[in-house]
Amino acid sequence: MKHSAWKKRRKPFPLETPGFLRLFFVGVGSAFSKKHNQTNLLVLKGRDHLLIDCGTKCPQALWELGLPVTAVQHLLITHSHADHIGGLEEVALRGRYFAKKKPDMIVTDEYKGILWDMSLKGGIAFGELVDGRPLVFDDVFEARAPEPHPVLQREAWRCRSGSIDLTLFRTKHIPDSAASWRDSFFSLGVVIDGRVLFTSDTRFDPELLIECDARFPLETIFHDCQFFTAGVHASLEELKDLPSGIKKKTYLTHYGDNWAAFQATIRKYGFAGLAHQNVCYDFPEPHRTD
């Protein structure tokens, strides 16, 4: 994996690559970060793109890259916290009333109901009546259900977004008392092209990382991290107990504004470092051995 800073220029950030897989964090901050955007991730490969999560700050962050939210046509949402879905109302309304396009969303049937009924409906449904009824999810997004895929010891799915291969799996994020992913409210992590694990939000869950590392040829892991131990995210002090082989390919995301005080500790513990926003993480084609 190679990384290089994206310098702001007149042209919009390109939602394509010459063919290789590129990850680009629109933000790397925690839910309440004021110095970074929230941890939302663009995945690019050839002419294909996917936005993983669209938080409250995401439309502004995209605009600063020269991209209207309607430039994003493919979405995957990991869970319902506002730093992951707060920008979706703008995506839906600008898509319906300005661009006249419906973005597609990879979404399980279960989460489609949760996302609409508990979060999006109040802001989107009642802007107009269609045949006498308020808008529904399918009026503003094209839902694409992933296929169940029993690759892990937990609920998992597989799907493609163009040429991008995605394995989705349940994570252990909320509530803080949940004993496992089974008792947790719906939240997802994702393995991209079998090469990159992005946890999105999870509490410390070493079984997940050890199993994914055994199951997939992971080159890089992006893991959420907070600098204190409590609540609903994995902390630096918990993550330091992971096997060193996992830590050395793990970049930390979703971190607080006080990150500078922890950089030396992150290095001392053997992590690859902090992930940064406005940096291209590029994955050249793997060498074929056959």
Q: How many residues of this chain bind Zn ion (CB under 5 A)?
A: 4
Q: Are 201 and 81 in contact (CB under 8 A)?
A: yes
Q: 196-225 mask for Zn ion (x: CB under 5 A)?
A: -----x------------------------
Strand, helix or coil for residue 252: strand
Between 81 and 96, CB nearer to Zn ion: 81
72: its two tokens? 């994003």
Q: Which residue has the tokens 């605009």?
A: 63
Residues of this chain, 81-100, that bind Zn ion according to CB under 5 A: 81, 83
Q: Which two tokens stand for residue 252?
A: 């930390």
Residue 212 contacts by C-beta under 8 Å, 6 or more apart in sequence? 152, 169, 191, 197, 218
**Residues from 146 through 205 that contact Zn ion (CB under 5 A):** 201
Helix (H) or strand (E) holding 24: strand 21-25
Q: Which stretch binds Zn ion (CB under 5 A): 74-82, 111-119, 125-133, 208-216?
A: 74-82
Under rule CB under 5 A, which residues in 23-62 are in contact with Zn ion? 31
Q: Which two tokens stand for residue 2?
A: 């190679």
Provide, rounded to whole angstroms, the least separation between the CB of residue 170 and Zn ion.
14
Give the interface segment with Zn ion, choosing from 15-23, 78-86, 112-120, 259-267 (CB under 5 A). 78-86
- Minimum CB–partner distance for residue 15 and Zn ion (Å): 23
CB 135 within 8 A of CB 128: yes
Collapse the DSSP code of 143 into the 3-class scheme (helix H, G, I; strand E, B; otherwise coil) and give the result. strand
Enumerate residues 6+ apart whose C-beta is below 8 A from 179: none
Q: Which is nearer to Zn ion, 90 or 201 (CB)?
A: 201
The nearer residue to Zn ion, 48 or 224, going by C-beta atoms, is: 224
Query: Which CB, 83 or 193, lies closer to Zn ion?
Result: 83
Q: Which residues bind Zn ion (CB under 5 A)?
A: 31, 81, 83, 201
